[in-house]
Structure 1
Amino acid sequence: MFDALTDRFEGIFTRLRGKGRLGEEEVDEVLREIRLALLEADVSFAVVRGFVARVREACLGLELSKALNPAQQVIDIVHQELIATLGGETLRITYASKPPTVVLMAGLQGSGKTTTSAKLARWFKAQGRNPMLVGADLQRPAAIEQLRTLGRQVDVPVVSKDDAIGGEGGDPVEVAERAIAEARRLGRDVVIVDTAGRLSIDAELMEQVRQISEVTQPHYTFLVVDAMTGQDAVTTAENFDQTLALDGVILTKLDGDARGGAALSVKEVVGKPIAFASNGEKIADFDLFHPDRLAGRILGMGDVLTLIDKAKEHFDEAQAEEAASRLMEGQFTFEDFLEQMQQVKKMGPISGLIGMLPGVPKELRNQEIDDKELSRVEAMITSMTVEERRRPDIIDGSRRQRIADGSGSNVAEVNALLEQFRQMQKMMKSFGMGPKKPKKGKKGKKGGRVTPKGGNPALRGKGPVVPGLPDPTAGEFKLPGL
């Protein structure tokens, strides 16, 4: 979503680094470009004006640091202001001393409110809670069935009008009120109430959601807004806040191709923080909103912390350690490679993961990487027998044809995969990985042994290498299939 803004900021800061000193004239020139970049990103004019004024004041009152040059200090100031504009701190969820903790979900139709309710339930469950979903959206056809389907996916119970608490044709206010009592009876400590939406704000919608809020006394009231709608999302948040006194905003579709102005405007305009963000269609594509991490991504600094969180969530620690051990011993096989690749795929699109890495060139970050390439490699490996995965050297011509036929590829692609895997193993050996038997070689002047052919004395013992990264002692090395 913020790719265009990131590209603009990178261009501005690249030119900024070329300046030896920064006077008032140079600062004003930089701020003019920042102002244009933010306005083009659909950030509210009032927010842009305040942002630029604060950055200018901080830059002109700058005390030069010995550790940073003037350009680096300006970048640091912009970074800190972006964090403040996005909300400053990550929301800390506290739970009611007397359960359940009630969460009220509000929003317009089409914002993704029902799906977000299920995603939030999954998030609470990951925190060790026992959530329950309440279908109080009796306005939209099939809304309750959609919630039940999502509830089954995250293994969270759903109650609504067709259950004993509401009866046939129950009133949404009555359904919500009885659901709280049902949650206490069942020992559920978090209740998420999914309310009805409309295509636009109207008096009936506001009155119904106000009544539900009144009877449930929610500890948190979240407004779900579609980040793709730009400044309309901010206007919607303002109107809902006047009725409900929001505790936070949940932004959906942050993975879209809109300009991202809503995320940069909502906190300052509405005065409410962004609590959670949804950046994909999958149930797992949802987490607390971290202003500092998003600010870093906007400025091209990457988001290593989120990448680490994803790895912790999707990687099996025992499997990873076992594979690393085999890698160190020089025994890494196609089976290990397949396991690691399958776990990487769980973390999301490859292009999204690359965007989290700091220092990645714009050309690579903006390149469309087809995840189907990984699937093709996976198909070729799974078409091998167990013995072939462990001992690729036994794969002769007839086996290659069978693997190609079984994976829907051709022999040339199988040959390329095998060759690249051999290069990877050779690279590991050149780095001195794995135990080596003493080899006979020419004696040096003092009776020592000269490093055997293929070894790398300069790099031996320097530690493991990530497969797929360029070998500094050889030509470019590509990850198989990419």
Structure 2
Amino acid sequence: MFDFLSQKFSSIFSRLKTQTRLTDDGIKEVLEKVHDALLEADVPYGIVQDFIEEVKKEVVGKKLTHSLNASEMLLKIVHGKLLSFMTGSTSDGAFSFHMPSVVMVEGLQGSGKTTTIAKLASTLKVQAEARGKTRRILLASVDFYRPAAIDQLEVLAKKAGVLFYRSPLTNPVEAAQDIVKKFHAEQCDILFLDTAGRLHVDETMLEELKKIDARIKPKYKILVIDAMTGQESLKVAQVFDEKVGFMGAILTKMDSDTRGGAAFAFRYALKKPILYVATGEKLDDIEAFKPDRMVSRIMGMGDLQTLLEKADEKIKKSEQEALTSSFARGRISLEDFAKQIDMVGKLGSLSNLMQYLPGMGSLKMTPEMLEKGEKEMKRFRAIIRSMTPKERVQTKLLDASRKGRIARGAGVSVADVNTLLARFEESQKFVKLFKSMGK
């Protein structure tokens, strides 16, 4: 997500950090690079021009060329303008559905609309359970044009552990009304209604959506758009807004090779918020869109807050506390090292984790490099599992004979065992430094 922009911006601004004073030519060169990066990210030309002009106005007002910390001030100006463009005139607060609610979900065929509905349902269910509550969530569909759509939603509802209803009616408008009656009869908290899409925007689809909207009067209308379609997604959103209306959008396929232009430009172009972004096929591959954190990623500053929240969701507190205790003592064992690797695995792939870490945006990590890292972590897990509990605690016991036995048990070479031990020693040094700094 935003990998392309993050790499570009990190490269541009990492050079600035070593400079204190900036000349007019230096500022002009930076802004030209920002301009080109946004165009390459498929941000519409007019929006790029508006953004650069806004930055220029503030640069002139601040008189950067006469300032001793000009580079830092320019960074702050660009950061502020990015945030302004992605949030609008006022900062978008964290979005939450009010209960009870009927949510009508719109979008073109292929945008990932049906899967996204299941992700939303799963997210709300998990969030409620974390607070010790339960939510009665109902999923239903009036997409009678794609025969497998309703079956797909039924399967996903079961997987998410939420309710599903199939209306016996075949007219989309009548079926929608029947579904809402079921929602009230079952005393559900929220209904996500999947509507029919098309490969392209057409009047028949839009008229149907307008009729459904008029009949059931949903509290929320949400548009699902495919981020991979770039500027075209903005045009699609504008048509939906004019003909049917919606209060916010969900961008899908943000884990793909999309360059992030649609996400950057959406709020500015549509004057409506992005509510969530979907980043994969799994039910938990969705997250609330928080512009301040996204801007931080784009600027190469990472997003540690989101990473910590994910850790709290997926890693038990007792496991986190045990590892923290080891760090506090200034020493870790291979058992602790294995737990570190397992924790990283629970948080997702290396490519997914990279986006949250400060300074990683400027690193051009190829898919091959990331795949190599993933394989190395799997080897390390297998090697540690092949050790006895005593060997994991006392690595000095690992002589040539023991290393050979461990390598055979893990199906690796002795060289791989030595690589693990070298990595472990590096971690030990870091832990000792961590303690000496009084962290």
Question: What TM bracket, shorter-length normalisation?
Answer: 0.7 to 0.9
Determine if contact 1:108/1:200 at 8 Å carries over to the other structure.
yes
Alignment coverage as a number of residue pairs: 428
Task: Identify the residue that residue 467 of structure 1 maps to in structure 2.
Answer: none
Offset of residue 92 of structure 1: 3.8
Matched, 1:462 2:437: yes
1: distance between equivalents of 2:211 and 2:106?
A: 12
Any residues of structure 2 matched to 1:337-356 within 5 Å, and which?
Answer: 337-356=337-356
In structure 1, list runs of 5 or more residues that go unmatched. 161-165, 432-458, 465-482
Larger radius of gyration: 1
Q: Deviations over 1:127-170 (max 9, x none)?
A: 3243221122222132122222222222112212xxxxx22x63
Give the corresponding residue for 1:144.
150
1:93 alignment partner in structure 2 = 95
Q: Contact 2:143/2:197 (CA < 8 Å) preserved in 1?
A: yes
- Partner in structure 2 of residue 224 of structure 1: 224
Q: What's the counterpart of residue 51 of structure 2?
A: 51
Letter in 1 for 2:377: L
Query: Contact 1:302/1:359 (CA < 8 Å) preserved in 2?
Result: yes
AA in 2 matched with 1:112: G
**Alignment CA distance shift 1:279-1:95 (3 Å):** closer
Moved more, 365-374 or 408-417: 365-374
- Measure how far apart 1:193 and its partner are: 1.0
Displacement of 1:388 after TM fit?
Answer: 4.4
Counterpart of 2:223 in 1: which secondary structure?
strand
SS of 1:105's equivalent in the other structure is strand
- From the superposition, tell whether residues 188 and 64 of structure 1 become closer, same or farther in structure 2 (CA, over 3 Å): same
Q: What is aligned with 1:157?
A: 163
Aligned position for 2:182: 182
Asked whether the equivalents of residues 228 and 256 of structure 2 are also in contact (C-alpha less than 8 Å), the reply is yes
- Other-structure match for 2:370: 369
Residue 462 of structure 1 aligns with an amino acid whose one-letter code is: M
Quote how far apart the aligned CAs of 1:9 are.
2.6
What residue is the counterpart of 1:405 in the other structure?
408
Cα distance, 1:250 vs structure 2: 0.6
Q: 1:23 Cα shift?
A: 6.0
Provide the secondary structure at the position in 1 that maps to 2:125.
Answer: helix
Give the secondary-structure state (helix, strand or coil) at the position aligned to 1:249.
strand
Query: Which whole-Å CA distance do the structure 1 matches of 2:148 and 2:357 have between them?
Result: 41
Q: Please tell me whether the aligned partners of residues 100 and 183 of structure 1 are also in contact (alpha carbons under 8 angstroms).
A: no
Q: What do residues 15-52 of structure 1 show as CA deviations (whole Å, max 9, x unaligned)?
A: 55576655655544433332222112110112112111
Partner Cα separation in structure 2 for residue 265 and residue 423 of structure 1: 43
Q: Do 2:95 and 2:275's aligned partners in 1 also have CA atoms closer than 8 Å?
A: no
Counterpart-to-counterpart distance in 2, 1:345 and 1:54 = 42
In the alignment, what sits opposite 2:131? none
Q: Supply the distance in 1 between the matched residues of 2:17 and 2:416 (Cα, whole angstroms).
A: 45
- Distance in 2, matches of 1:70 and 1:304, equals 27
Match of 1:236 in 2: 236
**1:253 counterpart = 2:259:** no
Question: Secondary structure at 1:191's aligned position in 2?
Answer: strand
The structure with more helix, counted as a fraction of residues: 2
Shift of 1:303: 1.4
Q: What CA distance in whole angstroms lies between the structure 2 residues aligned with 1:196 and 1:242?
A: 18
Q: Give the deviation of 1:72 after TM superposition.
A: 1.7
Aligned residue runs from structure 1 range 20-99, under 5 A: 21-22=21-22, 26-62=26-62, 69-88=69-88, 89-96=91-98, 99=99
Task: Summarize deviations over 1:233-280 as a string: whole Å, max 9, x none.
Answer: 111101111122111111111122222211122222222211111122
CA contact 2:24–2:65 (8 Å) conserved in 1 = no
Q: Report the 3-state secondary structure (helix = DSSP H, G, I; strand = E; otherwise coil) of the residue aligned with 1:61.
A: helix
Query: What's the counterpart of residue 264 of structure 2?
Result: 264
Cα deviations by residue, 1:200-238 (Å, 9 ceiling, x for unpaired): 111221122222222322222111111111111111101
Counterpart amino acid of 1:381? I
Contact 2:328 2:435 in 1 (8 A): no
| Residue 138 (structure 2) pairs with residue 132 (structure 1) | yes
Aligned to 1:6: 6
The answer (yes or no) to whether the contact 2:10–2:359 under 8 Å persists in 1 is: no
Change (3 A) 1:460 1:374: closer
Alignment CA distance shift 1:152-1:409 (3 Å): farther
2-structure distance, mates of 1:313, 1:238: 36
1:322 aligns with 2:322: yes
CA offset at residue 301 of structure 1? 1.7
- Give, as a single letter, the amino acid of the residue that structure 2 aligns with 1:301: M
Q: Which amino acid aligns with 1:93?
A: F
Higher relative contact order (CA 8 A, sep 6+): 2
Deviation at 1:75, TM superposition (A): 1.7
Partner of 1:202: 202
Q: Residues 408-423 of structure 1: matches in 2 within 5 Å?
A: 408-418=411-421, 420-421=423-424
Q: Residue 289 of structure 1 aligns with which residue?
A: 289
1:285-323 deviations in whole A, cap 9, x for unaligned? 211101111112112121122222222212211121123
Separation of aligned partners in 2, 1:315 and 1:65: 48
Deviation string, structure 1 residues 448-476 (Cα, Å, up to 9, x no partner):
xxxxxxxxxxx974346xxxxxxxxxxxx
1:373 positional shift: 1.9
Partner of 2:215: 215
Q: Judge conservation of contact 1:355–1:365 (CA < 8 Å) in 2.
A: no
Whether the 8 Å contact between 2:43 and 2:264 is mirrored in structure 1 is: yes
Decide whether aligned partners of structure 1 residues 74 and 422 sit closer, same or farther in structure 2, where only a CA change above 3 A counts. closer
Structure 2 Cα separation of the partners of residues 257 and 68 of structure 1 = 39
> CA shift at 1:108, angstroms?
0.8
Structure 2: gaps (5+ residues): 129-134
- Structure 1 residues 62 and 366, CA, compared in 2 at 3 Å: closer, same or farther? farther
Match of 2:132 in 1: none
Shift in alpha-carbon separation, 1:401–1:224, aligned structure 2, 3 A: same
1:144 to 1:339, Cα distance in 2 relative to 1, 3 A: farther
- Describe the SS at the equivalent of 1:225: strand
Q: Quick one: distance in 2 between partners of 1:158 and 1:53?
A: 50
Q: Could you give the per-residue CA deviations for residues 406-449 of structure 1, whole angstroms, max 9, x where no partner exists?
A: 43322321243245435655775x66xxxxxxxxxxxxxxxxxx
One-letter amino acid of the structure 2 residue matched with residue 141 of structure 1: P
Aligned equivalents of 1:40 and 1:332: distance in 2? Answer: 46
Q: Which amino acid aligns with 1:217?
A: K
User: 2 CA distance for matches of 1:366 and 1:463?
Assistant: 36
